[in-house]
Amino acid sequence: MASILDAPFMVELIRTTTNMYDHGWDERNGGNVSLMVDEADLADYLDVENVQRRIPTGFDAPTLDGRYFLVTGTGKYFKNVQYDPAGNLGIIRVTDRGRTAELLWGYADGGTFTSELPAHLMSHAVRLSQNPAHRVVMHCHPANLLAMTFVHDLDERSFTRTLWRMCTECIIVFPEGVNVLPWMLCGTNEIGEATAEKMKTARLVVWGQHGIYGAGADLDETFGLIETAEKAAEIYLKIAHLPILQTITDAELKQAADAFHVVPRAGFLDV
């Protein structure tokens, strides 16, 4: 059996968490990522019948029964993932209608999955119902998006329109816009449920004064989604205090969306 560390999904997650740390999105043990993995993709690397531990999840996720996830660990620093994957990552199988996670590999120091697992799995369930190709949920703390939640109103239409106007590519990359939650206590089922509800209409959910959740088909897509929104927030913060001489109009945003065959969220453009 080949080494699990050579599995393409493992190599890509290690690269992604390292890149997230290098971008400054995941200070200390901030942030978490979960990647859904098919059993067929595990076959050459892991005996899925060898359950090392059973860990209660503390919530129900019946639609994810039997699904496999590669998940970052609680209290783990993304800067260390590349040096000790087995100590910082784990592969789990969701069972018992979502109430139990069977650990198949990882968390070698006796640790467990991220405390945000409820939010992740609830969001996975919702995104799968919206798009069966979605396999990634990513949470991090990009500084500019976080700062923007202190100085910009949190109305989703207004927040989205500001980001769309900062870079031409924004309406193309996230035409459904950005959803926003006010500050809530992290690591709870309540914020997980609220995030999942927001995931029904957008792949990006900003947590006020905290960070962002993104979802997508693969790690590159999800990373790029957050990266684009963060770049737009950075531009906004650089110019918000200056007189604005020109902008991208709603008609021009619609023109860009039409050219790239995407549909902007209904009611978010005045055209």
CATH number at 264 reads 3.40.225.10
Number of domains within the chain: 2
Kindly give the pairing relationship between strand 204-207 and strand 179-181: parallel
Closest listed residue to residue 104, CA positions, set 50, 37, 35: 50
121 and 99 assigned to the same domain: no
Per-residue pLDDT 10s for the chain (271 aa) are: 899 999 999 999 999 999 999 999 999 999 999 999 999 999 999 999 999 999 998 888 899 999 999 999 999 999 999 999 999 999 999 999 989 999 999 999 999 999 889 899 999 999 999 999 999 999 999 999 999 999 999 999 999 999 999 999 999 999 999 999 999 999 888 999 999 999 999 999 999 999 999 999 999 999 999 999 999 999 999 999 999 999 999 999 999 999 999 999 999 999 9
49 and 63 assigned to the same domain: yes
Q: Please tell me the distance from the alpha carbon of residue 47 to that of residue 91, in angstroms, as a whole number.
A: 11
- What are the CB-based long-range contacts (under 8 Å, 24+) for 28-31? 28/77, 29/74, 29/75, 29/76, 29/77, 30/140, 30/141, 30/211, 31/72, 31/78, 31/138, 31/139, 31/140, 31/141, 31/211
76 and 128 assigned to the same domain: no
159 and 259 assigned to the same domain: yes
179 and 102 assigned to the same domain: no
Q: Which of 81, 98, 115 is the last residue of a domain?
A: 115
Task: Write down the residue that tokens 């129900």 correspond to.
Answer: 60
Q: In which domain, by residue range, is 230 found?
A: 116-271
Task: Write down the residue that tokens 């971008």 correspond to.
Answer: 23
> Annotated active-site positions, please?
116
What's the pTM? 0.95
Q: Residue 247, CB half-sphere, CA atoms under 13 Å: how many?
A: 17
